[in-house]
Amino acid sequence: MKRIIDAIKATTIPSTAKELKQFIEQFNLDEYDYAPHLSEPETEGDYGRNIFTLDPFECVLINWPANTESGIHHHDGLFGYVLVLEGEIENICYRKVDGILEECEIQRYGRGALIYEPDGVIHKIKNARSDTRAVSIHFYYPPLRTLGGLRIFDIERRAIGVLSDEAKTASWSDEDGHFTSLEHDAFEFKSFDELNARKSHIISNVLPKPATDRINQMNAIYFSEQAAQYDFYDFNLPKRKSYVDTIDELIANELTNRQVKSVIDIACGTGRRAVNIRSISGLDYEISGIDISEKMCEEARKKGIDAHHEAWLSSDEHSDETFSCATFLYAFGHIPSRELRLLNLKKIGDHLESGGLLCFDVFNQNDQNEWGPLAVKAYENQNLADHGYEPGDVFYRKNGFKSAAFVHYFTKNEVERLLDQAGFDIEKIHTVGYSKNAGEIQKDESQGNLLFIARKR
Protein backbone atom coordinates (compact mmCIF):
# COMPACT_ATOMS: atom_id res chain seq x y z
CA MET A 1 0.00 0.00 0.00
CA LYS A 2 2.88 2.37 0.72
CA ARG A 3 3.87 2.69 -2.96
CA ILE A 4 0.29 3.47 -3.91
CA ILE A 5 -0.17 6.12 -1.21
CA ASP A 6 3.19 7.70 -2.02
CA ALA A 7 2.20 7.82 -5.68
CA ILE A 8 -1.10 9.54 -4.80
CA LYS A 9 0.68 12.19 -2.79
CA ALA A 10 3.19 12.76 -5.58
CA THR A 11 0.68 13.05 -8.43
CA THR A 12 -1.25 16.03 -9.69
CA ILE A 13 -4.92 16.72 -9.18
CA PRO A 14 -6.98 14.66 -11.69
CA SER A 15 -9.03 17.03 -13.82
CA THR A 16 -11.15 14.26 -15.36
CA ALA A 17 -12.46 10.84 -14.44
CA LYS A 18 -10.31 9.37 -17.23
CA GLU A 19 -7.14 10.70 -15.58
CA LEU A 20 -8.15 9.24 -12.22
CA LYS A 21 -8.91 5.88 -13.85
CA GLN A 22 -5.54 5.82 -15.59
CA PHE A 23 -3.81 6.49 -12.28
CA ILE A 24 -5.62 3.60 -10.55
CA GLU A 25 -5.00 1.15 -13.39
CA GLN A 26 -1.22 1.51 -13.20
CA PHE A 27 -1.17 -0.66 -10.08
CA ASN A 28 -1.55 -4.42 -9.95
CA LEU A 29 -4.16 -5.88 -7.60
CA ASP A 30 -1.43 -7.71 -5.71
CA GLU A 31 0.12 -4.37 -4.76
CA TYR A 32 -2.86 -3.62 -2.54
CA ASP A 33 -1.53 -5.10 0.68
CA TYR A 34 -4.70 -4.10 2.48
CA ALA A 35 -5.20 -6.74 5.19
CA PRO A 36 -3.10 -5.02 7.90
CA HIS A 37 -4.96 -1.77 7.29
CA LEU A 38 -8.56 -2.92 7.60
CA SER A 39 -10.61 -1.01 10.16
CA GLU A 40 -13.32 -2.77 12.13
CA PRO A 41 -16.75 -1.06 12.30
CA GLU A 42 -17.29 1.17 15.31
CA THR A 43 -20.85 -0.11 15.70
CA GLU A 44 -22.39 -3.51 14.95
CA GLY A 45 -24.01 -3.70 11.53
CA ASP A 46 -21.88 -0.88 10.12
CA TYR A 47 -18.78 -0.93 7.93
CA GLY A 48 -15.21 0.13 8.72
CA ARG A 49 -13.37 3.00 6.99
CA ASN A 50 -9.65 3.72 6.94
CA ILE A 51 -8.71 6.96 5.15
CA PHE A 52 -5.17 6.69 3.78
CA THR A 53 -4.92 10.18 2.33
CA LEU A 54 -6.98 13.20 1.28
CA ASP A 55 -4.34 14.98 -0.77
CA PRO A 56 -4.58 15.57 -3.69
CA PHE A 57 -7.55 13.16 -3.81
CA GLU A 58 -9.12 10.78 -1.35
CA CYS A 59 -8.13 7.14 -0.94
CA VAL A 60 -10.18 5.20 1.62
CA LEU A 61 -10.23 1.47 2.40
CA ILE A 62 -13.60 0.00 3.41
CA ASN A 63 -14.25 -3.26 5.21
CA TRP A 64 -17.76 -4.62 4.55
CA PRO A 65 -18.66 -7.40 7.01
CA ALA A 66 -21.37 -9.84 5.91
CA ASN A 67 -24.83 -8.26 5.65
CA THR A 68 -23.61 -4.66 5.68
CA GLU A 69 -24.26 -1.78 3.33
CA SER A 70 -23.98 1.96 3.09
CA GLY A 71 -26.97 4.22 3.24
CA ILE A 72 -28.40 5.47 -0.02
CA HIS A 73 -26.43 8.65 -0.60
CA HIS A 74 -26.04 11.42 -3.17
CA HIS A 75 -22.67 12.31 -4.66
CA ASP A 76 -22.83 16.04 -5.22
CA GLY A 77 -19.76 17.79 -6.60
CA LEU A 78 -17.38 14.83 -6.71
CA PHE A 79 -16.57 11.79 -8.84
CA GLY A 80 -14.56 8.67 -8.20
CA TYR A 81 -13.94 4.95 -8.56
CA VAL A 82 -14.41 1.89 -6.38
CA LEU A 83 -11.98 -1.02 -6.79
CA VAL A 84 -13.16 -4.37 -5.39
CA LEU A 85 -10.29 -6.09 -3.56
CA GLU A 86 -12.14 -9.02 -1.98
CA GLY A 87 -15.56 -10.65 -2.11
CA GLU A 88 -18.49 -9.32 -4.09
CA ILE A 89 -20.33 -6.03 -3.80
CA GLU A 90 -23.50 -4.63 -5.30
CA ASN A 91 -23.74 -1.10 -6.58
CA ILE A 92 -27.40 -0.11 -6.47
CA CYS A 93 -28.35 3.12 -8.24
CA TYR A 94 -31.43 5.31 -7.83
CA ARG A 95 -33.08 8.29 -9.47
CA LYS A 96 -35.40 10.82 -7.87
CA VAL A 97 -38.18 11.99 -10.17
CA ASP A 98 -41.25 14.00 -9.17
CA GLY A 99 -41.03 13.03 -5.52
CA ILE A 100 -40.41 9.34 -6.25
CA LEU A 101 -37.13 7.58 -5.47
CA GLU A 102 -36.73 4.74 -7.99
CA GLU A 103 -34.30 1.85 -7.66
CA CYS A 104 -33.19 1.85 -11.29
CA GLU A 105 -30.09 -0.36 -11.54
CA ILE A 106 -28.46 -3.20 -9.59
CA GLN A 107 -24.99 -4.32 -10.61
CA ARG A 108 -22.78 -6.92 -8.95
CA TYR A 109 -18.99 -6.79 -9.01
CA GLY A 110 -16.27 -9.19 -7.92
CA ARG A 111 -12.55 -8.93 -7.19
CA GLY A 112 -10.73 -6.68 -9.64
CA ALA A 113 -13.79 -4.77 -10.82
CA LEU A 114 -13.39 -0.99 -11.11
CA ILE A 115 -16.68 0.86 -10.67
CA TYR A 116 -17.18 4.43 -11.80
CA GLU A 117 -19.16 6.76 -9.50
CA PRO A 118 -20.09 9.86 -11.52
CA ASP A 119 -20.89 13.23 -10.02
CA GLY A 120 -24.59 13.39 -9.20
CA VAL A 121 -25.17 9.66 -8.73
CA ILE A 122 -27.55 8.47 -6.00
CA HIS A 123 -26.53 4.99 -4.94
CA LYS A 124 -25.59 2.60 -2.18
CA ILE A 125 -22.96 -0.10 -1.92
CA LYS A 126 -23.58 -3.36 -0.11
CA ASN A 127 -21.80 -6.62 0.51
CA ALA A 128 -23.49 -8.91 -2.01
CA ARG A 129 -22.89 -12.01 0.11
CA SER A 130 -24.18 -12.92 3.53
CA ASP A 131 -21.48 -15.46 4.35
CA THR A 132 -18.24 -13.51 4.04
CA ARG A 133 -16.80 -10.01 4.09
CA ALA A 134 -16.03 -7.78 1.14
CA VAL A 135 -13.26 -5.20 0.85
CA SER A 136 -13.08 -2.21 -1.48
CA ILE A 137 -10.83 0.79 -1.92
CA HIS A 138 -12.32 4.13 -3.01
CA PHE A 139 -10.77 7.06 -4.84
CA TYR A 140 -12.65 10.40 -4.89
CA TYR A 141 -12.00 13.88 -6.18
CA PRO A 142 -12.41 16.33 -4.63
CA PRO A 143 -11.79 14.51 -1.35
CA LEU A 144 -14.47 14.15 1.29
CA ARG A 145 -12.62 15.63 4.24
CA THR A 146 -15.73 14.93 6.28
CA LEU A 147 -19.10 13.43 5.42
CA GLY A 148 -20.76 16.68 6.40
CA GLY A 149 -23.36 17.84 3.91
CA LEU A 150 -23.82 14.40 2.31
CA ARG A 151 -27.49 13.60 1.75
CA ILE A 152 -28.65 10.08 2.59
CA PHE A 153 -32.03 8.45 2.07
CA ASP A 154 -33.95 6.06 4.33
CA ILE A 155 -36.49 3.96 2.45
CA GLU A 156 -38.32 2.65 5.52
CA ARG A 157 -38.90 6.11 6.95
CA ARG A 158 -39.16 7.85 3.57
CA ALA A 159 -36.69 10.32 5.04
CA ILE A 160 -33.74 12.36 3.80
CA GLY A 161 -30.97 13.27 6.22
CA VAL A 162 -28.00 15.59 5.79
CA LEU A 163 -24.92 14.23 7.56
CA SER A 164 -22.91 16.29 10.01
CA ASP A 165 -19.13 16.62 10.17
CA GLU A 166 -19.18 14.09 13.04
CA ALA A 167 -20.76 11.27 11.00
CA LYS A 168 -18.34 8.34 10.61
CA THR A 169 -20.11 6.46 7.80
CA ALA A 170 -22.77 7.16 5.19
CA SER A 171 -25.30 5.05 7.10
CA TRP A 172 -28.52 5.83 8.86
CA SER A 173 -28.08 6.36 12.60
CA ASP A 174 -30.14 7.61 15.52
CA GLU A 175 -27.06 8.83 17.36
CA ASP A 176 -27.10 12.46 18.46
CA GLY A 177 -25.17 14.73 16.14
CA HIS A 178 -25.20 12.32 13.16
CA PHE A 179 -27.37 14.68 11.08
CA THR A 180 -27.63 18.41 10.67
CA SER A 181 -31.16 18.12 9.30
CA LEU A 182 -33.89 15.53 8.73
CA GLU A 183 -36.85 15.62 6.36
CA HIS A 184 -39.59 13.03 6.89
CA ASP A 185 -42.13 11.82 4.31
CA ALA A 186 -39.77 13.26 1.70
CA PHE A 187 -40.46 10.82 -1.13
CA GLU A 188 -42.26 7.73 -2.32
CA PHE A 189 -40.23 4.65 -3.19
CA LYS A 190 -40.38 2.12 -6.02
CA SER A 191 -38.11 -0.91 -5.93
CA PHE A 192 -36.32 -2.37 -8.94
CA ASP A 193 -38.62 -5.39 -8.82
CA GLU A 194 -41.71 -3.17 -8.78
CA LEU A 195 -40.47 -1.22 -11.80
CA ASN A 196 -39.86 -4.53 -13.59
CA ALA A 197 -42.91 -6.34 -12.23
CA ARG A 198 -43.98 -7.58 -15.65
CA LYS A 199 -40.66 -9.36 -16.13
CA SER A 200 -40.32 -12.85 -14.67
CA HIS A 201 -36.50 -12.68 -14.80
CA ILE A 202 -34.04 -9.79 -14.80
CA ILE A 203 -30.51 -9.57 -16.23
CA SER A 204 -28.05 -9.08 -13.38
CA ASN A 205 -24.52 -9.40 -14.77
CA VAL A 206 -21.52 -9.85 -12.49
CA LEU A 207 -18.20 -8.17 -13.33
CA PRO A 208 -15.69 -9.59 -13.83
CA LYS A 209 -17.09 -13.03 -14.70
CA PRO A 210 -16.57 -15.17 -11.58
CA ALA A 211 -14.50 -18.33 -11.51
CA THR A 212 -16.16 -21.65 -12.35
CA ASP A 213 -16.53 -22.79 -8.74
CA ARG A 214 -18.25 -19.54 -7.81
CA ILE A 215 -20.62 -19.75 -10.79
CA ASN A 216 -21.53 -23.33 -9.87
CA GLN A 217 -22.14 -22.21 -6.30
CA MET A 218 -24.35 -19.33 -7.50
CA ASN A 219 -26.39 -21.68 -9.71
CA ALA A 220 -26.79 -24.18 -6.87
CA ILE A 221 -28.04 -21.48 -4.49
CA TYR A 222 -30.37 -20.05 -7.12
CA PHE A 223 -32.07 -23.37 -7.84
CA SER A 224 -32.11 -24.46 -4.21
CA GLU A 225 -34.11 -21.32 -3.40
CA GLN A 226 -36.75 -22.44 -5.89
CA ALA A 227 -36.65 -26.22 -5.46
CA ALA A 228 -39.90 -26.56 -3.51
CA GLN A 229 -41.80 -24.44 -6.06
CA TYR A 230 -40.00 -25.39 -9.26
CA ASP A 231 -42.62 -27.87 -10.48
CA PHE A 232 -45.27 -25.25 -9.79
CA TYR A 233 -43.68 -22.98 -12.38
CA ASP A 234 -43.78 -25.74 -15.03
CA PHE A 235 -47.43 -26.44 -14.34
CA ASN A 236 -48.74 -22.92 -13.88
CA LEU A 237 -46.82 -20.67 -16.26
CA PRO A 238 -48.50 -21.21 -19.66
CA LYS A 239 -45.37 -20.30 -21.66
CA ARG A 240 -43.14 -22.59 -19.65
CA LYS A 241 -45.66 -25.46 -19.58
CA SER A 242 -46.25 -25.40 -23.33
CA TYR A 243 -42.52 -25.38 -24.05
CA VAL A 244 -41.69 -28.13 -21.55
CA ASP A 245 -44.56 -30.35 -22.71
CA THR A 246 -43.41 -30.16 -26.33
CA ILE A 247 -39.75 -30.84 -25.53
CA ASP A 248 -40.69 -33.79 -23.30
CA GLU A 249 -42.92 -35.30 -25.98
CA LEU A 250 -40.28 -34.94 -28.71
CA ILE A 251 -37.69 -36.68 -26.51
CA ALA A 252 -40.13 -39.39 -25.38
CA ASN A 253 -40.86 -40.26 -29.01
CA GLU A 254 -37.14 -40.69 -29.68
CA LEU A 255 -36.76 -42.99 -26.66
CA THR A 256 -39.76 -45.06 -27.69
CA ASN A 257 -38.40 -45.54 -31.19
CA ARG A 258 -35.11 -46.81 -29.77
CA GLN A 259 -36.57 -48.86 -26.89
CA VAL A 260 -33.99 -47.44 -24.47
CA LYS A 261 -33.17 -49.41 -21.32
CA SER A 262 -31.60 -46.73 -19.12
CA VAL A 263 -31.32 -42.94 -18.91
CA ILE A 264 -28.92 -40.64 -17.09
CA ASP A 265 -30.63 -37.29 -16.48
CA ILE A 266 -27.95 -34.63 -15.96
CA ALA A 267 -29.08 -31.56 -14.03
CA CYS A 268 -32.16 -33.59 -13.14
CA GLY A 269 -33.73 -30.87 -11.00
CA THR A 270 -36.85 -32.12 -9.22
CA GLY A 271 -36.99 -35.16 -11.49
CA ARG A 272 -40.48 -34.32 -12.71
CA ARG A 273 -39.48 -34.08 -16.35
CA ALA A 274 -37.49 -37.32 -16.38
CA VAL A 275 -40.48 -39.16 -14.93
CA ASN A 276 -42.84 -37.43 -17.35
CA ILE A 277 -40.74 -38.35 -20.38
CA ARG A 278 -40.67 -41.98 -19.27
CA SER A 279 -44.44 -41.95 -18.79
CA ILE A 280 -45.04 -40.52 -22.28
CA SER A 281 -42.64 -43.04 -23.83
CA GLY A 282 -44.57 -45.98 -22.42
CA LEU A 283 -41.28 -47.65 -21.49
CA ASP A 284 -40.09 -48.87 -18.11
CA TYR A 285 -36.42 -47.92 -18.11
CA GLU A 286 -34.23 -47.01 -15.14
CA ILE A 287 -33.48 -43.32 -14.43
CA SER A 288 -30.35 -42.07 -12.70
CA GLY A 289 -30.05 -38.38 -11.87
CA ILE A 290 -27.40 -35.89 -10.89
CA ASP A 291 -27.71 -32.24 -9.87
CA ILE A 292 -25.59 -29.55 -8.15
CA SER A 293 -28.51 -28.60 -5.87
CA GLU A 294 -29.09 -30.90 -2.91
CA LYS A 295 -32.62 -29.59 -2.48
CA MET A 296 -33.40 -30.42 -6.09
CA CYS A 297 -32.03 -33.93 -5.54
CA GLU A 298 -34.28 -34.32 -2.49
CA GLU A 299 -37.29 -33.51 -4.64
CA ALA A 300 -36.14 -35.97 -7.33
CA ARG A 301 -35.71 -38.77 -4.80
CA LYS A 302 -39.31 -38.29 -3.72
CA LYS A 303 -40.25 -39.26 -7.28
CA GLY A 304 -38.21 -42.46 -7.14
CA ILE A 305 -35.13 -41.22 -9.00
CA ASP A 306 -31.68 -42.29 -7.82
CA ALA A 307 -30.40 -38.69 -7.66
CA HIS A 308 -26.90 -37.72 -6.61
CA HIS A 309 -25.84 -34.27 -5.40
CA GLU A 310 -22.75 -33.58 -7.52
CA ALA A 311 -21.52 -31.74 -10.56
CA TRP A 312 -21.53 -34.09 -13.54
CA LEU A 313 -17.98 -33.33 -14.64
CA SER A 314 -16.44 -34.07 -11.24
CA SER A 315 -18.67 -37.01 -10.34
CA ASP A 316 -17.31 -40.56 -10.01
CA GLU A 317 -20.72 -41.98 -9.08
CA HIS A 318 -21.37 -43.58 -12.49
CA SER A 319 -17.78 -44.40 -13.40
CA ASP A 320 -18.55 -48.03 -14.31
CA GLU A 321 -21.98 -47.49 -15.88
CA THR A 322 -23.16 -46.93 -19.43
CA PHE A 323 -26.60 -45.74 -20.45
CA SER A 324 -28.83 -45.95 -23.49
CA CYS A 325 -29.57 -42.24 -23.35
CA ALA A 326 -28.50 -39.03 -21.61
CA THR A 327 -30.77 -36.01 -21.18
CA PHE A 328 -29.53 -32.56 -20.24
CA LEU A 329 -32.61 -30.36 -20.17
CA TYR A 330 -32.94 -26.63 -19.58
CA ALA A 331 -29.46 -26.64 -18.06
CA PHE A 332 -26.63 -27.15 -20.57
CA GLY A 333 -26.23 -23.38 -20.76
CA HIS A 334 -25.47 -23.21 -17.05
CA ILE A 335 -22.02 -24.66 -17.76
CA PRO A 336 -19.72 -21.60 -17.44
CA SER A 337 -17.35 -21.96 -20.41
CA ARG A 338 -16.87 -23.52 -23.83
CA GLU A 339 -13.98 -25.64 -22.57
CA LEU A 340 -16.11 -27.13 -19.80
CA ARG A 341 -19.06 -27.70 -22.14
CA LEU A 342 -16.85 -29.77 -24.40
CA LEU A 343 -15.50 -31.76 -21.44
CA ASN A 344 -19.06 -32.40 -20.22
CA LEU A 345 -20.11 -33.68 -23.64
CA LYS A 346 -17.06 -35.92 -23.90
CA LYS A 347 -17.81 -37.40 -20.48
CA ILE A 348 -21.40 -38.01 -21.53
CA GLY A 349 -20.06 -39.89 -24.54
CA ASP A 350 -17.89 -42.00 -22.25
CA HIS A 351 -21.02 -43.13 -20.38
CA LEU A 352 -23.20 -43.87 -23.39
CA GLU A 353 -23.31 -47.25 -25.08
CA SER A 354 -22.39 -47.39 -28.76
CA GLY A 355 -25.01 -45.43 -30.70
CA GLY A 356 -26.38 -44.02 -27.47
CA LEU A 357 -28.66 -41.00 -27.60
CA LEU A 358 -28.09 -37.49 -26.24
CA CYS A 359 -31.01 -35.04 -25.95
CA PHE A 360 -30.57 -31.49 -24.74
CA ASP A 361 -32.00 -28.04 -25.34
CA VAL A 362 -30.31 -24.63 -25.28
CA PHE A 363 -31.31 -21.00 -25.30
CA ASN A 364 -30.82 -19.60 -28.78
CA GLN A 365 -28.53 -16.59 -29.15
CA ASN A 366 -30.42 -15.59 -32.29
CA ASP A 367 -33.94 -15.86 -30.82
CA GLN A 368 -35.35 -12.38 -31.39
CA ASN A 369 -37.86 -12.87 -28.56
CA GLU A 370 -35.32 -13.70 -25.86
CA TRP A 371 -32.14 -12.32 -24.24
CA GLY A 372 -29.70 -13.70 -26.82
CA PRO A 373 -29.45 -10.56 -28.98
CA LEU A 374 -29.29 -8.38 -25.85
CA ALA A 375 -26.46 -10.51 -24.47
CA VAL A 376 -24.46 -10.15 -27.68
CA LYS A 377 -25.04 -6.39 -27.78
CA ALA A 378 -23.95 -6.05 -24.13
CA TYR A 379 -20.86 -8.16 -24.88
CA GLU A 380 -19.88 -5.77 -27.64
CA ASN A 381 -20.95 -2.43 -26.15
CA GLN A 382 -19.69 -3.06 -22.62
CA ASN A 383 -16.41 -4.74 -23.62
CA LEU A 384 -17.40 -7.82 -21.64
CA ALA A 385 -14.59 -9.81 -23.25
CA ASP A 386 -12.27 -7.79 -21.01
CA HIS A 387 -14.18 -9.19 -18.03
CA GLY A 388 -13.90 -12.85 -19.06
CA TYR A 389 -17.26 -13.15 -20.81
CA GLU A 390 -18.03 -15.16 -23.93
CA PRO A 391 -20.61 -13.89 -26.46
CA GLY A 392 -24.00 -14.99 -25.12
CA ASP A 393 -23.10 -15.08 -21.41
CA VAL A 394 -25.74 -13.71 -19.03
CA PHE A 395 -26.23 -13.58 -15.29
CA TYR A 396 -29.84 -13.20 -14.20
CA ARG A 397 -32.17 -13.54 -11.25
CA LYS A 398 -35.83 -14.36 -10.85
CA ASN A 399 -38.00 -11.38 -9.99
CA GLY A 400 -38.52 -11.33 -6.24
CA PHE A 401 -35.48 -13.52 -5.50
CA LYS A 402 -32.02 -12.30 -4.50
CA SER A 403 -29.72 -15.00 -5.89
CA ALA A 404 -28.29 -14.70 -9.39
CA ALA A 405 -27.54 -17.55 -11.78
CA PHE A 406 -25.57 -17.93 -15.00
CA VAL A 407 -26.75 -19.06 -18.43
CA HIS A 408 -25.16 -19.05 -21.86
CA TYR A 409 -27.06 -18.40 -25.10
CA PHE A 410 -25.82 -20.51 -28.02
CA THR A 411 -25.68 -20.21 -31.78
CA LYS A 412 -26.65 -23.31 -33.74
CA ASN A 413 -23.16 -23.53 -35.27
CA GLU A 414 -21.57 -23.29 -31.83
CA VAL A 415 -23.42 -26.39 -30.62
CA GLU A 416 -22.80 -28.24 -33.87
CA ARG A 417 -19.04 -27.74 -33.46
CA LEU A 418 -19.12 -28.87 -29.83
CA LEU A 419 -21.02 -32.06 -30.65
CA ASP A 420 -18.70 -32.91 -33.54
CA GLN A 421 -15.61 -32.41 -31.38
CA ALA A 422 -17.14 -34.54 -28.62
CA GLY A 423 -17.83 -37.45 -30.97
CA PHE A 424 -21.55 -37.06 -31.67
CA ASP A 425 -23.51 -37.00 -34.90
CA ILE A 426 -26.60 -34.78 -34.94
CA GLU A 427 -29.77 -36.57 -35.99
CA LYS A 428 -32.33 -33.82 -35.50
CA ILE A 429 -32.53 -30.16 -34.50
CA HIS A 430 -35.89 -28.73 -33.50
CA THR A 431 -36.64 -25.04 -32.98
CA VAL A 432 -39.34 -24.77 -30.32
CA GLY A 433 -41.09 -21.49 -29.49
CA TYR A 434 -40.39 -20.26 -25.99
CA SER A 435 -41.14 -16.58 -25.31
CA LYS A 436 -43.37 -16.38 -28.39
CA ASN A 437 -45.51 -19.20 -29.82
CA ALA A 438 -44.47 -21.27 -26.81
CA GLY A 439 -44.32 -24.99 -27.50
CA GLU A 440 -44.86 -24.66 -31.25
CA ILE A 441 -42.33 -26.17 -33.65
CA GLN A 442 -40.85 -23.30 -35.68
CA LYS A 443 -39.42 -23.29 -39.18
CA ASP A 444 -37.55 -20.04 -38.50
CA GLU A 445 -34.48 -20.78 -36.36
CA SER A 446 -34.61 -17.27 -34.85
CA GLN A 447 -37.97 -17.89 -33.17
CA GLY A 448 -37.28 -20.26 -30.28
CA ASN A 449 -34.95 -22.50 -28.32
CA LEU A 450 -32.99 -25.31 -29.97
CA LEU A 451 -33.46 -29.01 -29.14
CA PHE A 452 -30.63 -31.28 -30.27
CA ILE A 453 -31.01 -35.04 -30.76
CA ALA A 454 -27.53 -36.52 -31.21
CA ARG A 455 -26.07 -40.01 -31.41
CA LYS A 456 -22.72 -41.21 -30.13
CA ARG A 457 -20.50 -42.31 -33.00
Domains, in order of start, for the chain: 2-198 (2.60.120.10), 212-456 (3.40.50.150)
| pLDDT band of 44, cuts 50, 70, 90 | confident
Host H or E run for residue 197: none
Q: Please count the CA atoms within 13 angstroms of the CA of 116 that sit on its side-chain side.
A: 11
H-assigned helices in 337-422:
338-350, 372-381, 412-421
What SS3 class is residue 22?
Answer: helix
| pLDDT at residue 149, as a whole number | 95
pLDDT band at 319 (very low <50, low <70, confident <90, very high): confident
Q: Is the pLDDT of residue 376 over 90?
A: yes
pLDDT recorded at residue 235: 67
Cβ neighbour number for residue 148 with a 10 Å cutoff: 13
Cis peptide before 56 (omega within 30 of 0): yes
Asked whether the predicted pLDDT for residue 226 surpasses 90, the reply is: no
Separation of alpha carbons 87 and 127, rounded Å? 8
Average pLDDT for 412-424 = 98
**pLDDT > 70: percent of the chain:** 99
| Residue-averaged pLDDT of the chain | 94
Q: pLDDT tens across 48-101, in order?
A: 999 999 999 999 999 999 999 999 999 999 999 999 999 999 999 999 999 999
Query: What is the pTM for the complete model shown?
Result: 0.85
SS3 308: strand
Distance CA 262, CA 259 (A): 9
